[in-house]
Structures are given as structure tokens and as C-alpha cells.
Amino acid sequence: MTDNLLTDNPALYEARFPDPGRLAGRWAEDCLRRHGAGKRVLDMGCGTGRDAAWLHDAGREVTGADLSGAMLAHARAHHPGPEYVRADLHGFDLGHGRFDAVVCLDSALLYCHTNDQLDGFLSSCRRALAPGGLLVAEMRNGAYFLGRTDLLDTPRADEFAWRGTVHRSVTTLTVDRTDQLLRRRRVWTADDGSAPVEQRSAWRLLFPQELRHLLAAHGYEVLELHDGPGPRTEPPWQEGLLPGRTTDADRLHVVARLTCTTTH
């Protein structure tokens, strides 16, 4: 039994969520360029390291940080270039004013479940950023679930082949209104005779106006807040497309600039 089959098996994670065109890295780089960010980038919740390495190859000085030792080991072995360090999104200190930008991709930010954890993340980013530094994040949009149930409560079956074994998952998403969390229960089976694995995880249901308020309270100016196009929207973002203005669809993208380093 593992805590999280995908984050404990980074190669499986990449197979399950392929990004062959490195759209997430390209989109983040596009945001950084559009707002004139300096070279030093921290990728918080960097996972397998593929986006960190892409930003490194684009000429940036990148540090990738994650809590999962398995992810960090995979990143060092398979996506070299950046420095990889262990750090917790909920509160970290990697040096004052050391970065020109923090990127946080594919809902990593939503592993801050409580308000205290969100405050911890935003104040840690504020410490890590040089004045005028950018925060670029991409995640699920909590507002999508207001009045929509299409993704909820009904188990969804999926399967894919990895290294000669067919892996099947049955996933159920539910809304926990009290804790404002989207909870996921996923049961994995494989045709190699291994026992089923149940995995539970959750994301904060963060609403656009709530995010705007939190950012302002922590000394950030919101430059962009929209539901696409982005690397995981349909249709996906591509080079040359500009950010939209609505926050209605299922992904949320934010670019914010640190304007005040002394709030809180």
C-alpha cells in the first residue's frame, strides 16, 4: 500500500499525464516573459521536474522544490539542470529575495488545504521573491463547481498501459463543503496480479475572488486571473494566445506581482 501511487511512482505519473509538447513549461515561460521576470525561478511542487528542466533549458536559473523524495529523485535523474530541494508548500525558507519568480503548476498550490497553509505559502513566496517578483500558478478552478455536478459523485473508469502492464483506475470526486475541499478517491488495479491500491487526496476549492483577496492581503498585485487558455484547457494554450478575462471554466491561471514585501 502506498500513500499516493502517482507521486510515489514519478515515471508512472509522467505516463499517466503526458505533456510531450511541454505546454505547461512553455505557458509558464510565456507568462514570465510577458511580465519581464528575471532569470531566477523557483518551481514549487515541481513533481517530476519536467517543467523545471524545460525552464532551465529556456535559459532560466531554476530551483525545483517538492515534498516527495521519490519525485525529487526522479527529477534529479531524469530532468537534470535545475537544483532540486525538499521543501513544503505550507511554509519554506529558501533564502530571502533569492528568486525573480515562483511558478506552481498543475494544482500544486491546492495542496494548501487550510487558510493557514495558504497564508504560509504566500508569505513564504513573499520571503523568497525579490521586490517586483512574480507568482505564476495554474490549477483547478473552485468556481467551476458552483452549480455544476458533471465531474462529481459518479465513478469514472480509466485505463492505460505502462511498461507492459495495463493499469485501471476508478475515480470518484466529491465536494466537502465544510472544509471547502474537492476530495478524490481513486482505486487502482493492474493486470499483473498486484493487490488493488486505494488512494485518497484532496484539493482546496479556491475561488477566484478569494484568491484575489488573499494575494492582495499578502502584498501582491494581480496582473492576470482567468480560466484560459492555459496548458490544461480545452482547447489548450498555444504560442501567441493571450490570457482571457473570465473565470468560469474548470482551470484557473494567475499571474501576480509582489509589490510590497512587508505585509503581515
Stretch that binds ligand SAM, among 40-48, 55-63, 184-192, 241-249 (CB under 6 A): 40-48
φ, ψ of residue 131 to 5 degrees: the values are -55, 135
Cα gap 102→252, rounded to integer Å: 16
Give residues 4-23 in contact with ligand SAM (rule: CB under 6 A): 7
Going by DSSP bridges, is the β-strand pair 99-104/129-140 parallel, antiparallel, or unpaired?
Answer: parallel
Q: Does 64 bind ligand SAM (CB under 6 A)?
A: no
Nearest to 94 by CA among 61, 70, 118: 61
By the rule CB under 6 A, 84 interacts with ligand SAM:
no
106 is a site residue for ligand SAM (CB under 6 A): yes
Min CB(59)–ligand SAM separation in Å? 20
Exactly one of 46, 62, 139, 206 binds ligand SAM (CB under 6 A); that residue is 46
Size of the site for ligand SAM (CB under 6 A): 18
C-beta separation of 120 from 128 below 8 A: no
Rounded to the nearest whole angstrom, what is the least distance from the CB of residue 172 to ligand SAM in the complex?
18
Residue nearest to ligand SAM (CB): 47
With residues binned 3-state (H G I as helix, E B as strand, rest as coil), the percentages for the chain, rounded to 5, are 30, 35, 40
Q: Please report which residue ranges of 88-223 form alpha helices under DSSP H.
A: 115-128, 208-217
- What does the block give as the cell for 118? 495558504
**Only segment of 106-114, 141-149, 167-175, 187-195 that touches ligand SAM (CB under 6 A):** 106-114
C-alpha cell at 222: 494581480
CB 77 within 8 A of CB 51: no
Closest CA to 91 of 62, 67, 72: 67
Of 46-54, 124-132, 159-167, 172-180: span binding ligand SAM (CB under 6 A): 46-54
Q: How far apart are the first and last CA of the chain?
A: 41
Residues numbered 197 to 236 that lie near ligand SAM (CB under 6 A) are none
Using the rule CB under 6 A, give the single segment among 39-47, 55-63, 152-160, 214-222 that binds ligand SAM: 39-47
In the list 26, 31, 41, 51, the residue contacting ligand SAM (rule: CB under 6 A) is: 51
From 8, 57, 83, 88, residue interacting with ligand SAM (rule: CB under 6 A): 88
All three cell numbers of 173, joined, read: 470526486
250 in contact with ligand SAM (CB under 6 A): no
- Contact residues: ligand SAM, CB under 6 A: 7, 24, 45-47, 51, 66-68, 71, 88-90, 105-108, 111
